[in-house]
């Protein structure tokens, strides 16, 4: 098995330079980096993680805290982040927790060798006062998906508000004047932003923000079913429903069809996140397209290198039902 000394010898550089290339340090000249990377490939060199940790005083792991019920785009985000971290010689370690257990995340990892080099917080936790205070006290760098930009850690700004508003504007343009929303738990900043976007679009169109038309879900398919039942039980039910994630949208649609309603003729249903679950629904559901791959790339770079490079999230705001149907028809 090749060693770092073998790599250095083949590349005709010092062991220190070879180690810097392996550890992704930016101070190596490009022509030397190229020689070392070529030697790594030719020798099929695999760095010893324990040795890297010992020599650098880093764990080469990136932690991530996600809600246990955080289905939707979260699994796709974890997959993208895992791939990107691996490409830079790091291991992503996600920990799913119930909200009430969030302060215990990664608390079982004692010692610098196991401590993550940085932790990525899912939007549910991005502005959590106690969680931010804990990691600031422990001096663990944070990358927060969403949340206030002026708090501890690096914040990737995701405009949930505008994306939600655009979806509601789309429903209004289709002629709907009474639009319900099945929202997410409002403790999360992203969830609050999606509700604010919903209300913003209604106000822009001169439509009232009727509190009865908003019901809080819990990320799950079941909460979509229950949310639809509550909205349809109103004396004046909505003609369209915007669900704040696709899992709830799928649950709402299934329940509408079970009740004998035509979708979208009797009630239109829209989602948020453009997740794979929509590929399994019929009729197709219009959804906000969430830029998961782009967010993962920005977050991985920030966690590993400790800085946010300039970026602009440019989601295609909607995948319409017609677009989904055309994709399915094309195979």
Inter-residue contact 147 to 155 (CB < 8 Å): yes
Q: Is 145 helix (H, G, I), strand (E, B) or coil?
A: strand
Which of 43-47, 116-120, 160-164, 238-242 is modeled with the greatest confidence?
238-242
Confidence category of residue 274, pLDDT binned at 50, 70, 90 = confident
Q: What is the pTM of this model?
A: 0.70
- Residue 329 has what pLDDT? 46
- Residue 324 has what pLDDT? 45
Residue 329 lies in a domain: no
pLDDT of residue 124 exceeding 70: yes
Q: Residue 240: enclosing H or E segment and its boundaries?
A: strand 240-243
Residue 30 lies in a domain: yes
Same domain, 11 and 133: no
pLDDT of residue 165 exceeding 90: yes
Residue 328 lies in a domain: no
- Residue 270 has what pLDDT? 93
Inter-residue contact 141 to 153 (CB < 8 Å): yes
Inter-residue contact 112 to 57 (CB < 8 Å): yes
Same domain, 280 and 304: no
Residue 321 lies in a domain: no
Same domain, 279 and 164: yes
Same domain, 218 and 300: no
Same domain, 72 and 105: yes
Residue 322 lies in a domain: no
- Residue numbers of the domain that contains 122: 61-157+293-311
Burial class (CB in 10 A: 0-12, 13-18, 19+), 126: buried
- Residue 238 has what pLDDT? 96
Same domain, 194 and 283: yes
Same domain, 113 and 229: no
Same domain, 35 and 69: no
Same domain, 167 and 186: yes
Residue 134 lies in a domain: yes
Lowest mean pLDDT among 77-91, 129-143, 181-195: 181-195
Residue 331 lies in a domain: no
How far is Cα 33 from Cα 26, in angstroms, rounded to an integer?
Answer: 10
Same domain, 301 and 194: no
- Provide the number of structural domains found in the chain: 3
pLDDT of residue 123 exceeding 90: no
Same domain, 255 and 139: no
Same domain, 164 and 234: yes
Look up the CATH number of the domain holding residue 276: 3.40.50.2300
Residue 318 lies in a domain: no
Beta strand residue intervals within 47-174, DSSP E: 61-67, 91-97, 118-121, 142-145, 154-156
The tens digit of pLDDT for each residue in 67-78 reads 876 566 788 889
Confidence category of residue 327, pLDDT binned at 50, 70, 90 = very low
How far is Cα 324 from Cα 246, in angstroms, rounded to an integer?
Answer: 14
The predicted model gives 62-69 an average pLDDT of 85
Confidence category of residue 214, pLDDT binned at 50, 70, 90 = very high
- Residue 71 has what pLDDT? 61
Lowest mean pLDDT among 84-88, 118-122, 171-175, 276-280: 276-280
Confidence category of residue 103, pLDDT binned at 50, 70, 90 = confident
Percent of the chain predicted with pLDDT > 90: 36
Look up the CATH number of the domain holding residue 40: 1.10.260.40
Lowest mean pLDDT among 33-42, 66-75, 227-236: 66-75
**109, 137, 154, 129: which is closest to 306 by C-alpha?**
154
Confidence category of residue 152, pLDDT binned at 50, 70, 90 = very high
pLDDT of residue 227 exceeding 90: yes
Confidence category of residue 4, pLDDT binned at 50, 70, 90 = confident
């Amino acid at each position: 098995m090749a060693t770092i000394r073998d790599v250095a010898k083949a590349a005709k550089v010092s062991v220190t330079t070879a180690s810097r290339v392996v550890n992704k340090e930016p101070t190596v000249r490009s022509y030397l980096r190229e020689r070392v990377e070529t030697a790594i490939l030719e020798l099929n060199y695999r760095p010893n993680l324990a040795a890297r940790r010992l020599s650098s005083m880093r764990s080469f792991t990136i932690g991530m805290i996600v809600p246990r019920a955080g289905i939707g785009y979260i699994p796709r985000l974890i997959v993208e982040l895992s791939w990107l971290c691996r490409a830079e010689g790091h291991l992503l370690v996600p920990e799913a927790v119930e909200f009430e257990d969030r302060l215990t995340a990664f608390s079982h990892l004692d010692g610098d060798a196991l401590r993550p080099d940085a932790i990525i917080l899912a939007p549910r936790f991005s502005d959590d006062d106690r969680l931010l205070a804990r990691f600031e006290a422990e001096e663990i760098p944070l990358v927060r998906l969403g949340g206030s930009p002026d708090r501890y850690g690096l914040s990737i700004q995701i405009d949930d508000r505008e994306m939600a508003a655009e979806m509601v504007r789309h429903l209004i343009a289709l002629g709907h004047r009474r639009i319900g929303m099945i929202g997410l738990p409002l403790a999360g900043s992203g969830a609050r932003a999606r509700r604010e976007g919903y209300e913003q679009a209604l106000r822009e169109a001169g439509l009232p923000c009727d509190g009865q038309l908003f019901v809080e879900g819990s990320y799950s398919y079941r909460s979509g079913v229950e949310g639809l039942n509550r909205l349809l039980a109103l004396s004046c039910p909505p003609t369209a429903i915007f669900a704040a994630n696709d899992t709830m949208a799928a649950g709402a649609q299934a329940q509408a069809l079970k009740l004998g309603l035509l979708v979208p003729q009797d009630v239109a249903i829209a989602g948020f996140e453009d997740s794979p679950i929509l590929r399994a629904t019929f009729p197709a559901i219009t959804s906000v397209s969430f830029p998961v791959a782009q967010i993962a790339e920005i977050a991985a770079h920030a966690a590993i290198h400790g800085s946010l490079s300039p970026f602009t999230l440019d989601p295609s705001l909607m995948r319409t039902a017609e677009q989904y149907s055309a994709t399915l028809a094309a195979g």
